[in-house]
Structure 1
Amino acid sequence: MKRVSVVSAIMAVLFMVVQVVSELYLPNLTANIINNGVATGDIPYIWRTGIFMLGFSLISILAAVGNTYFATKESQQLGRKLRTEVYQKVEHSSTKMFDKYGTASLINRTTNDINQVALVTQMFLRMMINAPITLIGASILAYQKDAQLTKIFLVVVPIMMVLIGVIMYFSVPLFKSMQEKTDRLNLIFRENLTGVRVIRAFNKTAYEEKRFDDASMDYTNTAIKVNTIVSSMMPMMTLIMSGTNIAITWFGAQYIADMQLEVGNLIAFMTYAMQILFSFMMLAMIFVMVPRAQASAKRINEILEGEVDVLDPVEPQVVTRQGAAATLSFNQVDYRYDGAEKRTLEDVSFEATSGQMVAIIGGTGSGKTTLVNLIPRLYDIESGEIKLNGKNITQLTQKNVRELIGFVPQKAVLFSGTIRQNMQYGNQHATDEEIWQALRTAQAEEFVASLPDGLDSRVEQGGGNFSGGQKQRLAIARALVKPADVFIFDDSFSALDFKTDANLRKALKEDVTQGILVIVAQRVSTVIDADVILVLDEGKVVGQGTHAELLATNETYREIVASQLREEDL
């Protein structure tokens, strides 16, 4: 792509040079027709020169088309490359990047900001090349036609430069602020779309409409202001050009009367003067657009140059699937989020082997989700050691670690497509038999079989055509389809009724005989059959053992149980 990109840029420049040279030569031919043809009545000369003019005009048109094609190709290739790099950087970064910038901002940077950079690249390959060449060439040719008339530019050019400077002074900060306001607009719109049910349930439609309208009005006012300032450039430039034409005509007429200037040369000089002034206008448009693209480029670079905190080792070790011999261990693991004074997890230690169910329970904010997010290296630990099948996961590539893990997040995420495509997300070679077995274990077989198209039934964006419990069961089945040594269920049974929950846990114990089950749960009934229960309190493991052991020895666990079960149930 890099080679093609360089070729496109070079071709765009070459075509623009041809276009400018052709356009600069046309006024000279016009002068020759008037001076040597019209003035002398030489009709054949007029025809010959006219044919030359048509030829140069055709060359100019073809060159303009060629320049536009290659400039557009180059700018769009740049946009495509940037989008790919930003997307890959975000995909390979830890979730800290999402926490820092937010989804709305990342989407805006990947679309609007990159479009701004691509647009200015196209303008650069057209106007930024055209303007200086035309400016220099037209100035030289105008001077050759009449040196005295060029003194007019000593007055006109400074006025134009002052005008452009004033417009840039007021417009550039507004262009930069528009990017931030676009982020805000996207954020509110995205929140309203994803939270539409909550908004309606709380009867906050009018409130959210006003919030969106305020953000939209803020953006609109800024856009109106900046575009009004920029649009004033055109009439001001027109006024200056008209004044320049009047001055050239006034002084040129005197020179013609004094036999110091030919009529054809005056016409050519006026044309060159317009080309000079238009060149200044093109430069002004670029100087106005560049700061906005510069702000966009800065926002893009924040992503591309952002520090990747979860890195693969230079010389990674390799861990393979062990099945019945799989092991997982935490050894004095500490973790804290960026900027946090207090550790989220502190001195966490436990071990698990294949066939065991490890349950994690604790109060809200005790660090349960953080703990399981450390296993697939969504975050890297501050100190301590996590081992998977006897290997320290920081010495393994992220891909290698995640190949051995089946993961179900707190929020069940399904992708648009079919149920089969979602089931094969972690194992593209999974057979229908394997998929149905996973659905059976996840207690999803019955409702999937009842659908008209079965595994080929449509899944809308985010799984919007399924209930919360159905989405959770499908997400669990998707994880089970994948051959893995560790299956992580992060509070993935919360939308299930007690009967389905119990049946699912029973099926997991019976069907997943090779692999470690790590379950995060709020309900005691979900963890009661676990081989090992970890009780977390403010990031520390305050209890570890079976349900019976913890009930007898751990006060924190007893309080959790007592808050959910009646005394006679105990």
Structure 2
Amino acid sequence: MLKLSKKYLVWSAVIAAVLFLIVQVACDLYLPTVTANIIDNGVAKNNIGYIWSEGFKMLFVAMIGVLAAAGNIYFAATQSQKMGKKIRSAMYRKIMYLSDQDLDKFGDASLITRNTNDVVQIQNVMIQVLRMMFMSPIMLIGAISLAFIKSPRLTIVFFVSLIVLAIVVVIIMSFAGPLFKKLQSKTDKLNLIFREGLTGVRVIRAFNRDKYEQQRFDGQNRNYASNGIKVFMIVSLMFPIMTLILSGTNVGIVWFGAKMISNNALAVGNLVAFMTYATQILISFMMLSFMFVFIPRASASAKRINEVLEVETSIKDPEDDRNQNLADKESSLSFEHVNFKYGQDNHLALEDINFSAKRGQTVAIIGETGSGKSSLVNLVPRLYDVTSGEIKLNGLPIQNISQAELHRNISITQQKAVLFTGTIRENMQYGNEHATDDEIWEALKVAKADEFVNDEIGGLDAPVEQNGNNFSGGQKQRLVIARTILKNASVYIFDDSFSALDFKTDAELRMALNKNAKIQNAITLIVAQRISTVANADLILVLRDGKLVGSGTHDELANNNPVYRAILDSQLKKGGANNG
């Protein structure tokens, strides 16, 4: 947590909070002395004038204390909230720049928990640190010193109480600390199950697995609640135990103080002041104890946040990225003996892939499910890095190109059609933020999406709900294809982007793509399941178990490649090889 504090706190504001706190504590410590003076010099001697003057002094000191407390709370609250804001922003920026293989290490549910629940833990503790953590030791030292001045003999009573309190705190911390850490990991699991249920609700209903998923969630929820009950029951024991110790301390002070008063060894006012100081001492120690209980939980959260912020991205930009304007170079793409595997997996997802393409050519990739088609196209924009071999774009190895420049020259439609909440125009401008309405309509026309994006639904200003849920699967695919076309790029990638389209729309869309000027001046990669989608490609790559088992045109492969021929025959039987 110290790392986060150093980086994200404004230290001038922290110093201001501490200064206000010192003034507040000084006022709180001074008030019992004024009370003692009023009792001993005013009430005991029936000096009304002295009582009034000391009363006004007490009122003035109390007002200063209130203003100082307000100043401290303001700086503590603003700093804790701003710190949370900065951490969330830093985590979001970091996540945006992490590669897919880096994100896989954490998981979506865990990242969401770290950016919400864990940050809240940091915020809550930070405001308490700037309040109680600093106040408690100052109050403790000040009250002990002033109490000792009032009566050195009576200080023995609360020294015994402090020892008892310290033992109680150590015992409670030893049980509560580990449970707080477990609570955070259980939060991750709870969020994971909830997120899976939320995103897969249609599948759950379709397979009538409602009860199973409810039981799975309830089981984890009970586990989380059970852990929470344990830890908070342990922590809640501090209140009655400390109240008991505080009450016993006051009884002891009154008992011994009364004897000292009867022997004229202590004034009545000093006893009242001493009891107030004793209360301040024990409450300060209690607040400090609570900080030692809750700080471990915040420390666990801070550790989880730092894991994200400090992770080294596996895909890095070259040190020298000058003279890399790919748009000025002839479009070309080549794979040279490319091997790829996911993480620490020993099995190669792609093995010895070789092919090349130049401007105006369409390369289609076909194969069985799990053959590595999406893995191949994901290597081009460096969503993952090759394990060995080399990929070149416009004559340059992509490892020698900055990611920003690489992504400027690649436009991709991935398997899952992703739309963002907003309007159709806003979603289209993800592809080209400077695109005019005419350019957007042209892209929609090519993608055969203009027929449903019309004035009846609001045109380009038509709303897009979360995940594009107000559109069908085919409509979403056509919208994301239009967004891809709208971008000016050297390579256009369509990763199984036509699967939700009927044969007629598929054929019309591909025909419109082939006539599009941007597509004609670039390289197109198409991942597809249908022979009809890939039949007109300049080069077809046939993958099987991550290996390139055939390449050529449709006619060449249909005559000479048994794997391609098997796919063709299976689709001909279903009537799915119509070239349109």
Aligned-partner residue type, residue 534 of structure 1:
L
Equivalent-residue separation in structure 2 for 1:399 and 1:449 (angstroms): 34
Return closer, same or farther for 1:205/1:283 CA change in 2, 3 Å cut-off: same
Query: Structure 1, residues 352-379: CA drift from partner, whole Å, max 9, x if none?
Result: 1111110001111111111101111111
Paired residues for 1:95-494 under 5 Å:
95-322=100-327, 325-449=330-454, 451-494=456-499
Equivalent-residue separation in structure 2 for 1:325 and 1:158 (angstroms): 79
Unaligned stretches of 5+ in structure 1?
Answer: none
Matched, 1:538 2:510: no
Equivalent-residue separation in structure 2 for 1:56 and 1:173 (angstroms): 43
Is 43-52 or 504-513 further displaced after alignment?
Answer: 504-513
Equivalent-residue separation in structure 2 for 1:95 and 1:32 (angstroms): 71
Equivalent-residue separation in structure 1 for 2:438 and 2:189 (angstroms): 47
1:524 aligned to 516, 531, 545, which one? 531
Is 339-348 or 286-295 further displaced after alignment?
Answer: 339-348
Return closer, same or farther for 1:41/1:322 CA change in 2, 3 Å cut-off: closer
Aligned-partner residue type, residue 477 of structure 1:
A
1:566, CA displacement in angstroms? 3.3
Is 482-491 or 149-158 further displaced after alignment?
Answer: 149-158
Return closer, same or farther for 1:493/1:318 CA change in 2, 3 Å cut-off: farther
> Aligned to 1:337, what secondary structure does the other structure show?
coil
Aligned-partner residue type, residue 98 of structure 1:
L
Query: Structure 1, residues 454-510: CA drift from partner, whole Å, max 9, x if none?
Result: 111000010000000000000000000111111100011111111111111111111
1:325, CA displacement in angstroms? 3.1
> Aligned to 1:447, what secondary structure does the other structure show?
coil
> Aligned to 1:325, what secondary structure does the other structure show?
coil
Equivalent-residue separation in structure 1 for 2:145 and 2:422 (angstroms): 64
Return closer, same or farther for 1:324/1:387 CA change in 2, 3 Å cut-off: closer
TM-score by length of 1: 0.97
> Aligned to 1:494, what secondary structure does the other structure show?
coil
1:23, CA displacement in angstroms? 0.4
Equivalent-residue separation in structure 2 for 1:171 and 1:24 (angstroms): 32
1:321, CA displacement in angstroms? 4.9
8 Å Cα contact 2:349/2:546 also seen in 1: yes
Equivalent-residue separation in structure 1 for 2:246 and 2:53 (angstroms): 32
8 Å Cα contact 2:9/2:83 also seen in 1: no
Aligned-partner residue type, residue 516 of structure 1:
I
1:153, CA displacement in angstroms? 2.4
> Aligned to 1:289, what secondary structure does the other structure show?
helix
Aligned-partner residue type, residue 446 of structure 1:
E
8 Å Cα contact 1:451/1:457 also seen in 2: no
2:82 aligned to 77, 95, 106, which one? 77
8 Å Cα contact 1:472/1:493 also seen in 2: yes
Paired residues for 1:56-71 under 5 Å:
56-71=61-76
Return closer, same or farther for 1:567/1:73 CA change in 2, 3 Å cut-off: closer
- How much is the aligned-residue C-alpha RMSD, in angstroms? 1.6
> Aligned to 2:451, what secondary structure does the other structure show?
helix
Is 265-274 or 503-512 further displaced after alignment?
Answer: 503-512
Is 194-203 or 271-280 further displaced after alignment?
Answer: 194-203
Partner of 1:502: 507
Is 425-434 or 12-21 further displaced after alignment?
Answer: 425-434
Equivalent-residue separation in structure 1 for 2:574 and 2:38 (angstroms): 109
Query: Structure 1, residues 113-171: CA drift from partner, whole Å, max 9, x if none?
Result: 01111211111111111000000000010000001101112321111011111111111
Is 494-503 or 450-459 further displaced after alignment?
Answer: 450-459
1:2, CA displacement in angstroms? 7.1
Seq. identity, %: 55
> Aligned to 1:484, what secondary structure does the other structure show?
coil
8 Å Cα contact 1:318/1:396 also seen in 2: no
Equivalent-residue separation in structure 2 for 1:566 and 1:237 (angstroms): 81
Partner of 1:563: 570
Return closer, same or farther for 1:317/1:332 CA change in 2, 3 Å cut-off: farther
Paired residues for 1:14-33 under 5 Å:
14-33=19-38
Is 442-451 or 541-550 further displaced after alignment?
Answer: 442-451
2:560 aligned to 553, 557, 562, which one? 553
Equivalent-residue separation in structure 2 for 1:215 and 1:117 (angstroms): 25
8 Å Cα contact 1:448/1:455 also seen in 2: yes
> Aligned to 1:67, what secondary structure does the other structure show?
helix
Is 279-288 or 217-226 further displaced after alignment?
Answer: 217-226
1:567, CA displacement in angstroms? 10
Query: Structure 1, residues 427-458: CA drift from partner, whole Å, max 9, x if none?
Result: 11111111111111111111112633111100
8 Å Cα contact 1:324/1:514 also seen in 2: no
1:315, CA displacement in angstroms? 0.7
Aligned-partner residue type, residue 67 of structure 2:
L
Equivalent-residue separation in structure 2 for 1:167 and 1:355 (angstroms): 71
8 Å Cα contact 1:324/1:513 also seen in 2: no
Return closer, same or farther for 1:121/1:46 CA change in 2, 3 Å cut-off: same
Equivalent-residue separation in structure 2 for 1:17 and 1:450 (angstroms): 66
Query: Structure 1, residues 268-299: CA drift from partner, whole Å, max 9, x if none?
Result: 00000001100111111100110000110111
Q: How many pairs were matched up?
A: 570
Equivalent-residue separation in structure 1 for 2:321 and 2:543 (angstroms): 32
